[in-house]
Copies of this chain bind each other. A is one copy, B any other.
Amino acid sequence: MPSPDQNAPPLRRRGARMRSAVLAATVDVLTAQGLAGTTVGAVARAAGVHETSVYRRWGSRENLILEALTEQLDAAMPVPDTGRVRDDLATYFGALARLLATAQGEALLRLSVERDDTLPDRRLPYWTERLERGAVMVRRGVERGELAPDTDPGLVIEAISGALFTRALISGAPLDEHLATRLVDLTLTGALPRTPGGP
């Protein structure tokens, strides 16, 4: 993510430059101050813009943080396309496990759990969009004949990511890439005994 241009005078940045400066400042403030310290005022000061410009564009602190972290998340988690569904999923969810072990990753997740007047309407479309990013990998596996034709792509993604989210958010149990791979293998292979000579 480009860092804000320190030499540009406040209020002179517009449109895309203002947007990227504010989003980068949001991530910086989140990393330094945590979720509670990430106010619109603190972000505006760090980005060198007026607070009112931030409110005009994003409407609320929650929308601002959600957009900043989503950009980070999608940049940190490109959707791989190796031609093998198991490798794609292990790479993708290995990256998620690493991300959730960071302060920024956990902040994104905690923000999604917070409730306020602006968020309930946005949570479901937001997560539906994230889920769809992952489901693409499973759908390709079905098309290649690697997975059963009646596979529910979203359900596979929910089973793997749900266990990772739960560790980050609820149990506090450790997160690592090995765990991600084991979850991928469980959802692909299942826990039933393998047929001799079968997969």
Which DSSP category, helix, strand, loop or mixed, fits chain A's interface?
helix
Complex CA gap A108/B112 in Å reads 17
Which residues of B are found within 8 Å of A78, using beta-carbon distances? none
Interface string of A77-105 (1 = CB under 8 A from B): 00000000000000000000000000000
Partner pick for A147 among B123, B147, B158, B192, CB 8 A cutoff:
B192
- Per assembly, the copies of the chain total 2
Which residues of B are found within 8 Å of A163, using beta-carbon distances? 155, 158-159, 162-163
Closest to A130 in B: B171
User: Contact between A161 and B156 (Cβ–Cβ < 8 Å)?
Assistant: no
A144 to chain B, nearest CB (A): 11
A124 within 8 A of B: yes
Which residues of B are found within 8 Å of A16, using beta-carbon distances? none
Complex CA gap A158/B175 in Å reads 13
Which residues of B are found within 8 Å of A191, using beta-carbon distances? 138, 141, 147-148, 151, 156, 187-188, 190
Q: A124 and B173 in contact (CB under 8 A), knowing A183-B155, A187-B159?
A: yes
Residues of chain A in range 95-139 having any CB-CB distance to chain B below 8 Å = 109-110, 112-113, 120, 123-124, 127-128, 131, 138
User: Contact between B128 and A171 (Cβ–Cβ < 8 Å)?
Assistant: yes
Complex CA gap A127/B198 in Å reads 36
Closest to A124 in B: B172
A169 within 8 A of B: yes
User: Contact between B190 and A195 (Cβ–Cβ < 8 Å)?
Assistant: no
- 19 residue pairs bridging A and B, Cβ less than 8 Å apart: A113-B170, A124-B171, A127-B172, A127-B173, A128-B173, A138-B191, A141-B191, A156-B186, A158-B163, A158-B167, A158-B183, A159-B183, A162-B164, A166-B166, A189-B190, A190-B190, A195-B197, A195-B198, A195-B199
